[in-house]
Chain A
Amino acid sequence: EAQVTQNPRYLITVTGKKLTVTCSQNMNHEYMSWYRQDPGLGLRQIYYSMNVEVTDKGDVPEGYKVSRKEKRNFPLILESPSPNQTSLYFCASRPFEPGLSGNTIYFGEGSWLTVV
Chain B
Amino acid sequence: AQTVTQSQPEMSVQEAETVTLSCTYDTSESDYYLFWYKQPPSRQMILVIRQEAYKQQNATENRFSVNFQKAAKSFSLKISDSQLGDAAMYFCAYRSPNTGTASKLTFGTGTRLQVTL
Smallest Cβ-Cβ distance to A29: which chain B residue: B103
Is the Cβ of A109 less than 8 Å from the Cβ of B107?
no
Is the Cβ of B44 less than 8 Å from the Cβ of A48?
no
Stretch binding the partner chain, chosen from B63-71, B77-85, B93-101: B93-101
| Contacts of A89-116 to chain B: CB distance below 8 A | 90, 92, 94, 96, 100-102, 104-105, 107, 109-110
Is the Cβ of A43 less than 8 Å from the Cβ of B107?
yes
Interface residues of B, CB < 8 Å — how many?
26
Is the Cβ of B103 less than 8 Å from the Cβ of A33?
yes
Is the Cβ of A31 less than 8 Å from the Cβ of B43?
no
Q: Roughly how many angstroms separate A24 CA and B101 CA in the complex, as a whole number?
A: 20
Interface residues of A, CB < 8 Å — how many?
29
Is the Cβ of A102 less than 8 Å from the Cβ of B109?
no
Is the Cβ of B99 less than 8 Å from the Cβ of A50?
yes
B11 within 8 A of A: no
Is the Cβ of B91 less than 8 Å from the Cβ of A96?
no
Residue numbers in B under 8 Å from A96 (CB-CB): 99
Residue numbers in B under 8 Å from A104 (CB-CB): 47, 50
Is the Cβ of A41 less than 8 Å from the Cβ of B103?
no
- In the complex, 23 of the A-B residue pairs with CB atoms within 8 angstroms, ordered by the A residue number, are A33-B103, A33-B104, A40-B109, A41-B109, A42-B108, A43-B93, A45-B104, A48-B102, A48-B103, A48-B104, A50-B102, A58-B104, A88-B43, A92-B105, A94-B103, A100-B54, A100-B97, A101-B97, A102-B33, A104-B50, A107-B45, A109-B43, A110-B44
